[in-house]
Amino acid sequence: MIGLSDRVIISSNGKSWFVRPSDGKLGTDLGLVDLEQIVGKEPGDVICTHSGRELSIRLPRSTDFFEYAKRSTAPMLPRDIGLVIGLTGMNKHDHVLDAGTGSGISAIFFAGVAAHVTSYERRAESAEQARLTVSDAGIQNLEIISGDILKETRMYDVVHLDLGLTKEHVIHAHSVLKPGGYLACYTPFFEQMALAFDSAKNLFVECSSYECIMRDMDRGERGTRPSTRVCHSGYITIMRK
Amino acid sequence: MIGLSDRVIISSNGKSWFVRPSDGKLGTDLGLVDLEQIVGKEPGDVICTHSGRELSIRLPRSTDFFEYAKRSTAPMLPRDIGLVIGLTGMNKHDHVLDAGTGSGISAIFFAGVAAHVTSYERRAESAEQARLTVSDAGIQNLEIISGDILKETRMYDVVHLDLGLTKEHVIHAHSVLKPGGYLACYTPFFEQMALAFDSAKNLFVECSSYECIMRDMDRGERGTRPSTRVCHSGYITIMRK
Amino acid sequence: MIGLSDRVIISSNGKSWFVRPSDGKLGTDLGLVDLEQIVGKEPGDVICTHSGRELSIRLPRSTDFFEYAKRSTAPMLPRDIGLVIGLTGMNKHDHVLDAGTGSGISAIFFAGVAAHVTSYERRAESAEQARLTVSDAGIQNLEIISGDILKETRMYDVVHLDLGLTKEHVIHAHSVLKPGGYLACYTPFFEQMALAFDSAKNLFVECSSYECIMRDMDRGERGTRPSTRVCHSGYITIMRK
Amino acid sequence: MIGLSDRVIISSNGKSWFVRPSDGKLGTDLGLVDLEQIVGKEPGDVICTHSGRELSIRLPRSTDFFEYAKRSTAPMLPRDIGLVIGLTGMNKHDHVLDAGTGSGISAIFFAGVAAHVTSYERRAESAEQARLTVSDAGIQNLEIISGDILKETRMYDVVHLDLGLTKEHVIHAHSVLKPGGYLACYTPFFEQMALAFDSAKNLFVECSSYECIMRDMDRGERGTRPSTRVCHSGYITIMRK
C-alpha cells in the first residue's frame, strides 16, 4: 500500500511522471492529476486525470532512479553497474562496501541486489544529497557514511570503488574482503586502471582489467548501424581474494 | 553451518577445489583432504590436509557455478548476464521469467538477485541436469519447468529470453510483464536482434538493441594492450513495457 | 614552380590557409598577405606578410582536400579510404574505377595512388562541382564521368563503390575486373553490407566484410581514454576476382 | 612481358600458386605445370597443365606479398598499412622514410604508392632477406639500408616508424620531414603510443593517436555476427609537421 511520501511513477502510453502523493496536483498534457488519490493504492492500480484519462501506478526501479535522481557528479551507467554485478556474482547474501557514493546511483542498484550496502562519501554535502535520494527511494538496506572508506574495518563480500584510486585503497579493500570476495574498481582513465591492476597483481588471487565498448544499434528506415554516440565509459578491474 | 551435501569451495594460495563434504577424500598437491571434516563448519573456517596444510572454506558464488557447473550448451557469459541485470535494474523484489534454461547458469545468477525465478527448458534432459546443478547450489527460489514458456500466464517484473527467438515470444513476454517491467533478449546473431527489435517496436514503450565488445586488457612486461581474444558474444535487446 | 591558379597552403606555427596566388590579398591575424608573390615560388619557400611575418608554402595533400574541399555529401573518411587502399593493395600501376564520385574526395585520394582513376557520378551538378575541385587540385589522372557506372566496359584493377548498392553493381564490377583485381564496397548500413556479401559470395574468389571501429585516444592531464566521439563510420566489403 | 625470374601468380577457380618461370615444373591437383611457358606471356594470358586444365597468369599485388613473402617478424597488417596511407594521404609524389624494415611488407606497400621509399633495418640478416623479397617483387623504387635510421639526413614527405620507439626517433623524424609532412608511428602497446604522443605534442602541429578495432563479419547459415577472432593489432599515432 503506497504512503503519502513514497516515490511512484504514473504513466500512460509511454509518458511517465516521477511523483509523490504528497506533491499535490500535477499538470500534464492529459489533464490535471490529483496525486493524493495515490495514497492507499497498490502498484498496478489506475488513477484518473480530471478529464478522465487513465494513468497506471508503478514503483520505480533502479533504472528509474538513474533517470530521475538528483546528480552531484556523472554517475556510473547502468551497463557498467551491471558488469560489476555480473562479474562479481553479487547476490542477496552479500554485504557490499562502496565508495564514493556520489549521486548514490550505483549504491541504489547494489542495494536492490545485496543484503546490505555500506557506501562512503567524503564530501558531506554529496552524502547528504544521496541520503535524501535513498530515503526517497524507500531503500532500507543502504547506509551512507560521510567519511573516508579507509577507516572501515568490517568484513565484506564485495567492495566497489569508483573514486580517485590509490594503491592504499586496493590494499585496504583486500583487508576487509572475505576469502573468495571481489574488489571491483571502475576507472575512467587508462592510468588508474593500470594502478588498480598493478596494486592487485601480487595481492589478489585473480585480477583482470576490462574495457567494455557498448553500442546502441540504430535501426531506422535506411537500415541498421551502430550508433555513433558514446561508446567508451571506463575500465573495470575485477580482483578476487 | 555446512551440511553433508552442500557445495563448498576449499582453497589455498589461489588454488581452489569445488567439493561436497559427502565426496569423501580428496587428493591434492597439498596432501590428502578428508572432506567430511567440513560438516558443521562455517564459511571462513579452516581445515587441514593430512600433512597439516591449511585450506579455507567458502560458499560458491554465481561466478563459481559459471566455472564449475556441468554445461549442456554454451552458457551466457557473466558479463552479459550482468548487463541484463544492470539494464533491467533487476532486484530482490522481482519475479523473473527465464527461457531457455540451458545449463542453468543465467537462472542461477538471476536467482541470486531476484525474489523468485521461473525458468523454462523444452529439452527434458537439459532441464533435469540444470535442476541437479541448482539443487547442488542450494538455491531455493529457482523453479525449472520442463516445457514451453509460451504456456506461462503468471505476471513478471522481468522476462529474459535466450533461445531460438520468434515474434510470438516477444508478444507473449509483453503479455506476462507488469507495467514498467522489462524484457531482455540475448541473441548471438544480428538477424535475431533485428527480429527482437522489430517485434517490440510498436508493442513496448522503450526498445534498444546493444552490442557489447568487451576486452581483457593484457598487462605484461612489454606493455599493455587489449587482448586479441574473444570480444563479441552477442547482442542484447532491452524492451520496457 | 607554382602558377597563378595552383592551390597551395601557406602556414605559420600551426595555422594554415588554403589559397591560390590569383586570390589577391589575404587578411590574417599575422598581417596582410599579397598572394601573387607565390607565383614562381617552390614548395618549401617562404613569403612574408606586410608586417614581415614569415609563412611557408606547401602543396596540399589529399588530407588537405578532405579538410578544405567543397562537399556535396558526407565524404568517406581518410581512414576508410586508407583501408580500401591497404586491403586492395592499390598501387601506381592500377587503373581504378570509382562510383559515386560525390565530393570527389575518395577519387582524389585514389588518384594520388593509382595510375588512373575513372569516377562516375549520376548527378550532373555533383560531377561538375567535383571536376572543379579536381582541376583546382591540379590532378591530371582522374576522369569524372557524369553518368551510370553500369555503362562502363573497360577493364580495371580495382573497383570502388560507395553508392546505393544493388546486386547488379556487384555483378557489373566483376565483369570489368581483371583476374586478381579487387572490388571494395563501402556501405554505411548493415543491410547493404549483407547485400554486397551475398551478391559476391559465389561470384568472387574471396569475400570478406569488415567493420572498423576507430577511436581517437584522448590524452589529457587527468589521463588517457578513448574518445567518446564517432567510432562507427561504415562497413567495408572486399571481394577478389 | 614476363621474364624468367619474375614473380607471378597462376590461378584457377580460386586456387593460386606464387611462382617464378625459372622454378621449373609445379605439381598441382589440376596436373603438372611447366612454368617456363610463362616466359614472354602477359598478365591475363592463360597457360595449361599437362592434362589441359587452364590457369590464368597475373602479377602479384602487395596483398599477395603479405600472404606469400618470407617473414622474419610479424608484419603489420594490410589494414594498418592502409590506415597509415590514408591518414597521411601518401601519394605518388612522396618520398617516404620507413623503419624498421622487418619482412619488408610495409615498405613494399608504400613503394606501390610513393615515388620512392627508403627503409632502414638494423639487423643485417633481416635487411638482406627483405632485399631478396623486394628484388623478387621487381620493385625498383625501394632502397633497404642496413643501419640506424637516426643517421638519415635527407628530407621526406612521410616518415613511418614501426620499431622500438624512443623520443629520439620522434625528434629525428621531425627534423627530416618537410613542412606539412607526416610522421606515422605504429605501436602494439599502449605505453609506446603514449611515448609517441608525448614526444610529439609540443613539436608537431597536429598529433592524434588512434586505436582501430577491425572485425571480420561472419555471415553463415545461422546468421551474421562479428568474428570472435583478432580485433586489436596496435595503436597508430599520426603527427603532422
pLDDT at residue C228, as a whole number: 66
Helix, strand or coil, per DSSP, at residue A206: strand
Q: Which amino acid is residue C230, in one-letter code? A: V
Helix, strand or coil, per DSSP, at residue D145: strand
Taking CB atoms and an 8 Å cutoff, what residues of chain B touch A93?
Answer: 59, 112
State the average pLDDT over residues D24-53: 92
pLDDT at residue D228, as a whole number: 66
Residue A178 has pLDDT above 90, yes or no: yes
Phi and psi (nearest 5°) for B139? -90, 130
Select the residue of B215, B224, B230 nearest D189 (Cβ to Cβ): B224
State the average pLDDT over residues D107-115: 97
CA distance D96 to chain C (A): 13
At A239, the pLDDT band (50, 70, 90 cuts) reads very high
Is A214–B210 a contact, with Cβ atoms under 8 angstroms apart? yes
Range scoring the smallest mean pLDDT among A30-34, A180-184, B148-152, D67-71: D67-71
State the average pLDDT over residues B22-26: 91
pLDDT at residue A169, as a whole number: 98
pLDDT at residue B73, as a whole number: 77
Is C228–A226 a contact, with Cβ atoms under 8 angstroms apart? no
Is A213–B214 a contact, with Cβ atoms under 8 angstroms apart? yes
Whose grid coordinates read 600472404? Answer: D67
Cis peptide bond upstream of A102, omega within 30: no
pLDDT at residue B212, as a whole number: 87
Name the maximum alpha-carbon separation found in chain B: 67
Q: How far apart are CA D123 and CA B177, in angstroms?
A: 68
Q: How far apart are CA D86 and CA C108, in angstroms?
A: 11
pLDDT at residue C215, as a whole number: 86
Residue B98 has pLDDT above 70, yes or no: yes
pLDDT at residue C230, as a whole number: 57
State the average pLDDT over residues A114-142: 94
Taking CB atoms and an 8 Å cutoff, what residues of chain B touch D226?
Answer: 211, 213, 231-232
pLDDT at residue D227, as a whole number: 82
State the average pLDDT over residues B194-208: 95
State the average pLDDT over residues A140-169: 98
Taking CB atoms and an 8 Å cutoff, what residues of chain A touch C230?
Answer: 228
Residue A49 has pLDDT above 90, yes or no: yes
Is A225–C234 a contact, with Cβ atoms under 8 angstroms apart? yes
Residue in B with minimal Cα distance to A83: B82
Residue in C with minimal Cα distance to A235: C225
Range scoring the smallest mean pLDDT among A6-10, C179-183, C185-189, D156-160: A6-10
Of C68 and D184, more confident:
D184
Taking CB atoms and an 8 Å cutoff, what residues of chain B touch A87?
Answer: 63, 78-79, 82
Select the residue of D194, D208, D219 nearest C194 (Cβ to Cβ): D219
Each residue's pLDDT tens digit, D14-34: 788 999 999 999 999 999 999
pLDDT at residue A229, as a whole number: 64
pLDDT at residue C226, as a whole number: 86
pLDDT at residue A230, as a whole number: 57
Is B189–D230 a contact, with Cβ atoms under 8 angstroms apart? no
Is C191–A234 a contact, with Cβ atoms under 8 angstroms apart? no
CA distance B39 to chain A (A): 19
| Percent of chain A with pLDDT strictly greater than 70 | 98
Residue D208 has pLDDT above 80, yes or no: yes
Q: Walk me through the domains of chain C, giving residue ranges and CATH numbers.
A: 8-58 (3.10.330.20), 64-240 (3.40.50.150)
Taking CB atoms and an 8 Å cutoff, what residues of chain C touch A77?
Answer: none
Each residue's pLDDT tens digit, C20-70: 999 899 999 999 999 999 999 998 899 999 999 999 999 899 999 888 888
Residue A104 has pLDDT above 70, yes or no: yes
Of A70, C83, C225, nearest to B217 by C-alpha is C225
CA distance B12 to chain A (A): 10
Range scoring the smallest mean pLDDT among A58-67, B199-208, C53-62, D220-229: D220-229
State the average pLDDT over residues B13-38: 91
Q: Do the strands A25-28 and A15-19 form a parallel or antiparallel pair, or are they unpaired?
A: unpaired
What is the DSSP-derived secondary structure letter of residue D14?
T
State the average pLDDT over residues B145-150: 98
Which residue of D212, D230, D241 to mutate against C (max C Cβ within 10 Å)?
D212
Which residue of A10, A46, A92 to mutate against B (max B Cβ within 10 Å)?
A92
Taking CB atoms and an 8 Å cutoff, what residues of chain C touch D63?
Answer: 87-89
Residue in A with minimal Cα distance to B82: A86
| Percent of chain B with pLDDT strictly greater than 90 | 76
Low-confidence ranges of chain C (pLDDT < 50): none
Residue B230 has pLDDT above 60, yes or no: no
Q: Do the strands A223-226 and B31-34 form a parallel or antiparallel pair, or are they unpaired?
A: unpaired
Q: How far apart are CA A91 and CA A93, in angstroms?
A: 6
pLDDT at residue B136, as a whole number: 82
At A105, the pLDDT band (50, 70, 90 cuts) reads very high
Q: Which amino acid is residue C168, in one-letter code? A: E
Select the residue of C192, C222, C232 nearest A223 (Cβ to Cβ): C192
Is A210–B214 a contact, with Cβ atoms under 8 angstroms apart? yes
CA distance D230 to chain B (A): 5
Residue in D with minimal Cα distance to B164: D222
Residue A150 has pLDDT above 90, yes or no: yes
State the average pLDDT over residues D200-216: 92
Residue B213 has pLDDT above 90, yes or no: no
Each residue's pLDDT tens digit, B148-171: 999 999 999 999 999 999 999 999
Is B87–A79 a contact, with Cβ atoms under 8 angstroms apart? yes
Q: How far apart are CA B84 and CA B66, in angstroms?
A: 16
| Percent of chain D with pLDDT strictly greater than 90 | 76
What is the DSSP-derived secondary structure letter of residue D190?
H
Q: How many CB atoms lie within 10 A of CB D32?
A: 11
Taking CB atoms and an 8 Å cutoff, what residues of chain C touch D82?
Answer: 82-87
Q: What angle do CA D124, D129, D135 make, to 5 degrees?
A: 120
Select the residue of B192, B225, B230 nearest D188 (Cβ to Cβ): B225
Select the residue of B190, B224, B228 nearest D231 (Cβ to Cβ): B228
